[in-house]
Amino acid sequence: MQKLLLWIDRFSTWVGQAFSWLIIALTLLVSFEVVSRRLFDSPNAFTFDAMIMLYGTLFMMAGAYTLSKNGHVRGDVLYGFFKPRVQAGLDLALYLIFFIPGVIALVWAGYHFAAESWAIGERSSITADGPPIYHFKTVIPIAGALILLQGLVEIVRCVVCLKQGAWPSRQQDVEEVDVGKLKEMVHVKDEDIQKLDALVAAQERGGAK
């Protein structure tokens, strides 16, 4: 079971990292439009639609990745003080009551939304000759399905935590700086930092006089 959970974590991570390259395309597109508009007085109508689609795709396809890293916004004012079993019980209730119905509705509505768009060959109405957007709307049910898959993994993790009293491991990616390891790498001890702080404080007191 743990191997399956970690495999889905890796899959969500791969998808998120793959679509993160859209940042480069978006940056280049914005830079192109700024140069074209400011320096050559030649704005391009298609760039506005393209930027919306690129950013929207990036935002939606990063949902499962963010969930796999436990990175979505959470009110940690009280949650962080709870024991793992209480956290798991609260998360499980929220997943079952809000998350699962909401994401299933997203996938269902998104599928019909995209199907209708393909059927009529929908194009953007923001500009006079807007680009086709049915492929962009197809991202909605796909992203929803990926989030739902990762959500099921998180539900299993909640159940495991309720049984074992500790959160199971998850696939790691980019982590925050480990201060302890950083100190070891640069060969700095806590005593050295305290001496430096005391020296700086003494110099500040001397300067104040």
Region 70-84: what's the mean pLDDT? 80
Instruction: Please say if the pLDDT value at position 76 is more than 90.
Output: no
pTM listed for this prediction = 0.76
What one-character-per-residue DSSP string does 138-152 give? HHHHHHHHHHHHHHH
More confident residue, 189 or 163: 163
Contact criterion met (CB below 8 Å) for 161 and 127: no
pLDDT tens string 146-160 = 999 999 999 999 999
d(CA 86, CA 158): 10
Closest CA to 143 of 47, 16, 50, 43: 16
Contact criterion met (CB below 8 Å) for 87 and 161: yes
Instruction: Please say if the pLDDT value at position 38 is more than 70.
Output: yes
Instruction: Please say if the pLDDT value at position 136 is more than 90.
Output: yes
Give the model's pLDDT for residue 126. 77
Q: Where are the domains of the chain?
A: 2-175, 178-209
